[in-house]
Amino acid sequence: MGSAILYGTGTILVLAIAASLIFALLLRFTSLEENSINLAVTIISFLALFIGGFMSGGKGKEKGLVLGGLTGLLFSIGVFLFQYLGYDSLFSMKQVVYHVCFIITAMMGGILGVNVSGGKSS
């Protein structure tokens, strides 16, 4: 169960790093501004959490709701610790809502991941 959660969280981090690189290059070498890509960043964030939950559910093959939820929770705790320890600030109410939605999205991905992988084989 733990390896499935770490696998899903690792997937989220790889997707987040790849998306960050792409957006950084777009911002640097085009005339795009940060406020013009907010919606795209939000959509890709939710997609990354869904895929991470999907991967953890597929790897765990059972209890997709729990695996996806814990994957999203681990990601949110990591972001919280980075923000708190690195920038000395807590989550705003808007961020709390986003992270609750992230966890729910990862749960849905976990459920779908278990169902697509065939669940527990007997």
pLDDT in tens, 87-105: 888 889 999 999 999 999 9
* 52 touches 15 (CB < 8 A): yes
Res 121: pLDDT: 52
Res 1: pLDDT: 85
Res 23: pLDDT: 95
Both structure tokens of 34: 């940060």
23 inside domain: yes
Cβ-based burial of 27 (10 A; exposed 0-12, middle 13-18, buried ≥19) = middle
Both structure tokens of 56: 């953890």
* Dist CA 105 CA 69 (whole Å): 8
81 inside domain: yes
93 inside domain: yes
Q: How many domains does the chain have?
A: 1
Of 52, 29, 61, which is closest to residue 108 (Cα–Cα)?
52
Res 122: pLDDT: 42
Predicted TM-score (pTM) above 0.75: yes
63 inside domain: yes
122 inside domain: no
* 74 touches 31 (CB < 8 A): no
Domain that holds residue 13: 2-117
Res 117: pLDDT: 79
Res 114: pLDDT: 92
CA angle 28, 80, 114 (to 5 degrees): 95
- For CA atoms 57, 61, 67, 69, the dihedral sign is positive
Regions in the chain scoring below 50 on pLDDT: 122
